[in-house]
Amino acid sequence: MNGIYLDNSSTTKPCKEAIDAVNFALNECWGNPSSLHEFGFNAEQLVKSARQSVAEKIGASIDEIYFNSCGTEGDNTAIIGAALALKKRGNRIVTTSVEHPAVLETVKRLAEDGFDVVYIKPDKDGHISEKSVRDAVNEKTVLISMMLVNNETGAIFPVSSLKKIAKEKGSPALIHTDAVQAFGKLPINVKKLGVDMLTLSGHKIHAPKGIGALYISKDVHIKPFITGGGQEKGMRSGTESVPLIAGLGAAVNALPDINAQLKKAQELNDYTRKVLAENGFDSFNSPADALPYVLNVSVIGYRSETLLHFLENEGVYVSSGSACAKGKGSYVLNEMGLERARIDSALRISFSRFSEKSDADKLCEALLSATKKLRKANR
Ligand code: PLP
């Protein structure tokens, strides 16, 4: 399929390196990593090398990386595992009201089982303040789960302050971050960030779908979510998906210098904002200091779904943010307190390292054409 693909927060095109690594593993290295013979050993070596690549990228050690199937599984494992491990020490879980459903639905289930879940709301710009975290955390808090980058607005959350706040409040909380949108785009060092657990997902960084990883600090112990044959040091039983793990490792190795790429993404974001604003599309819902790979904008007066359809006809692919629940629109923008008209007309543009300025031009042209056609049709 061709076209201007600006929906990279939903998923990314697998890179050649990842595809080659998957093919190699399927064709040449299909043993079971647990087998005590050469086939097993070779597969184990592939898994080990991918684990090393992921660990290095986030400043972790190799024995702190657990492969799994996706970001959703990582979030579930971290949250349920931590809550069960620490439930004797308290029952409060602090999170934000704008997490991905992989977190929100998981804490909701824990709330049904008696946990006291506190949801921090963002401000009108999409930021989460440290003060609101301080107000939410108490000595009974056993888990703080906060995403590093919001998937709809690109807002960066104050994850690096969480450990300090928990200490100040006398809380034994483990700190989890859903870094699915941040990994590979923002430099991450788990030690500097002060997190005990970090979720990442392959398909957001040009690896295949169906592969993710969870960092768990070796200083903490959480309960496994999937039990069985004891793979992944008992934390995630089930025969490892060697091809997908190799694909993730290759995609991680293929990541360019993150800071240099971030600078390029910022230039592209600034350019896109400028071109859109010059043409009257200036209701931006992403804060100015958001991760530049995400730009959320409202085209007030036009419904997101209608615009998506028109843009698709012009060969431009964006998203409306998140799947609209029964026409209610984005819960993230709603939590930010934005007006209805703005929520109903929101578009999320999300770039990858392969996006170009010409893509922003094409997007803007397509938006102008779409709004013109819609105005005509409504006359
Ligand atoms: N967390 C965030 C912030 C996401 O954006 C997503 C996917 O869009 C997920 C979790 C779920 O990841 P996966 O699709 O790998 O299950």
pLDDT tens, residue by residue, 314-342: 999 999 976 444 557 899 999 999 999 99
In the reported structure, the alpha carbon of residue 204 is separated from the centroid of ligand 1 by a whole-number distance in angstroms of: 8
**How far is C-alpha 212 from the geometric centre of its chain's CA atoms?**
11
Q: How far apart are CA 322 and CA 299, in angstroms?
A: 16
- Residue 65 phi/psi, 5-degree rounding, is -110, 125
Convert the pLDDT of each residue in 246-284 to its tens digit: 999 999 999 999 999 999 999 999 999 999 999 999 999
Query: Looking up tokens 């999409």, which residue turns up?
Result: 126
In the reported structure, the alpha carbon of residue 162 is separated from the centroid of ligand 1 by a whole-number distance in angstroms of: 21
In the reported structure, the alpha carbon of residue 323 is separated from the centroid of ligand 1 by a whole-number distance in angstroms of: 13
Name 67's bridge partners: 213
Angle at 68 between CA 32 and CA 218, to 5 degrees: 100
Name 367's bridge partners: none
Rounded mean pLDDT of 101-127? 98
In the reported structure, the alpha carbon of residue 72 is separated from the centroid of ligand 1 by a whole-number distance in angstroms of: 6
Ligand 1 binding site (Cβ under 6 Å of any ligand atom): 70-72, 75, 100, 102, 147, 151, 178, 180-181, 201, 203, 212
Residue minimizing CA distance to atom 5 of ligand 1: 151
Percent of the chain scored above 90 by pLDDT?
95
**pLDDT at residue number 329:** 86
For residue 202, the ligand 1 atom closest to its alpha carbon is 15
**pLDDT at residue number 1:** 78
For residue 10, the ligand 1 atom closest to its alpha carbon is 8
- The strand ranges marked E within 130-231 are 141-145, 174-178, 197-201, 212-216
Is residue 9 within 8 Å of residue 321, measured between CB atoms? no
Is residue 280 within 8 Å of residue 371, measured between CB atoms? no
Q: How far apart are CA 112 and CA 102, in angstroms?
A: 16
Is residue 286 within 8 Å of residue 333, measured between CB atoms? no
Question: Which amino acids are annotated catalytic?
Answer: 324
Query: Looking up tokens 């904002």, which residue turns up?
Result: 273
> How buried is residue 284: exposed, middle or buried, by Cβ count under 10 Å (0-12/13-18/19+)?
middle
Pocket residue to mutate for ligand 1, from 148, 151, 203, most atoms within 8 A of Cβ: 151
